[in-house]
Copies of this chain bind each other. A is one copy, B any other.
Amino acid sequence: MAKIRDVAQEAGVSVGTVSMVLNHPDYGSPAIRQKVQAAVEKLQYVPSEMARNLSLKRTMTVGVIVPTVAHPFFAELVEGLEESLYHLGYKTMLCCTQQKENAEHVFIEMLQRQNMDGIIMGAHSLDTSLYQGLKQPIIAFDRYLSPDIPIVHTDHMVGGRLAAEAFLQHDCHHIVEISGSQMVKTPAGEYHQAFNEVMHAHGVQTDIVSLPWNSFGFEEPLLLAEKIFDDFSDVDGILGSDVSVMACLQVAVRRGIKVPEQLKLVAYDGTILTQNGIRKLTAVRQPIDELAKVAAQKIVSIINGKQDDLSWVLPPTLISGETC
């Protein structure tokens, strides 16, 4: 593996010259540049990123932390982040915290070890104290980590109202809401709040049932769906995440409950999951790609010392489907 010194020797110039020619497009005379390029080609020289990193004290890498990537919401998100970061010149280090003991600690430490220039934190965290003293660039994705950590998320108040309006057009009387864990306060949790306000103003009964913390699998929602139909025989509307509502649809069909005649369903997230089944779900869609783009741009700004706002909020949209 050729090093810069070899190139310098081959080109008959000094190491410094080679470095400058390689990193600064308008350094040196054409003749010198030519010689250096030739030597690079001949020796098939490729600079060592490790050495550059140490020298420049940066890695051009951003850590993306999510609970899991085997979930349509996070899959879309990670795809969007990777793409945006790539075009900004950054690499993506993927970290999934679910299934791993205490992985959050480890990933935060990776940040401190300067393995990454910054991180985008999309995983739930029970212990937000971890983030208090952090000096490194960090952005929270739909999470409250610390008052001084910038956050990007959907306007869930609007989301909640969109969902409410969808149900209100169909004269529902008893709506069950499936929420994530109540243990941790997230922006996403707030759509229930906005939703409830509207529903109660219209005299509609609502109940909330919760999934366990950090549950992003497909089994628990199915169990919960069964429980909902067992416990609330008069339910005529359900609001919850894509996965939860898909589970309800599945169970409802199995039980012979007609959708949307007897039961209205609105999915919150609006990932591809709601669009590629037999029935397209009515859904409030989070602008995942745009959120990803903003998060990527912002983390890069912060890395470059250009911190501005502490919060970026993008509006969701309603996708009309066949279930409400």
Residue with the greatest number of chain B CB neighbours at <10 A, chosen from A70, A272, A275 = A70
Find A96's partner among B71, B79, B247, B277 (CB 8 Å cutoff). Answer: B79
Q: Does A243 contact B (CB under 8 A)?
A: yes
Q: Does A88 contact B (CB under 8 A)?
A: no
Find A99's partner among B83, B272, B276 (CB 8 Å cutoff). Answer: B83
Q: Does A311 contact B (CB under 8 A)?
A: no
Question: How many copies of this chain?
Answer: 2
Q: Does A19 contact B (CB under 8 A)?
A: no
**A234-285 residues at the B interface, CB under 8 angstroms:** 243, 246-247, 249-250, 253, 272-273, 275-279
Q: Does A49 contact B (CB under 8 A)?
A: yes
Distance in angstroms between the alpha carbons of A78 and B246 in the assembled complex: 24
User: Do B91 and A92 have beta carbons less than 8 Å apart?
Assistant: no
Find A94's partner among B51, B92, B247 (CB 8 Å cutoff). Answer: B92
Residue with the greatest number of chain B CB neighbours at <10 A, chosen from A48, A50, A96, A279 = A50
Q: What is the CB-to-nearest-CB distance from A258 to chain B, in angstroms, rounded to a whole number?
A: 13
User: Do B47 and A113 have beta carbons less than 8 Å apart?
Assistant: yes
Distance in angstroms between the alpha carbons of A112 and B47 in the assembled complex: 9
- Considering the complex, give the chain B residue whose CB is closest to the CB of A79: B70
Q: What is the CB-to-nearest-CB distance from A51 to chain B, in angstroms, rounded to a whole number?
A: 6
Known: A79-B70, A94-B92, A103-B86. A218 touches B50 (CB 8 A): no
- Considering the complex, give the chain B residue whose CB is closest to the CB of A222: B276
Q: Does A57 contact B (CB under 8 A)?
A: yes
Q: Does A201 contact B (CB under 8 A)?
A: no
Known: A76-B70, A276-B246, A277-B278. A50 touches B46 (CB 8 A): no
Distance in angstroms between the alpha carbons of A64 and B275 in the assembled complex: 28
Sort A-B residue pairs by CB-CB distance and give the 9 closest, nearest first.
A70-B79, A49-B113, A75-B75, A94-B94, A49-B115, A277-B277, A50-B53, A46-B112, A50-B54
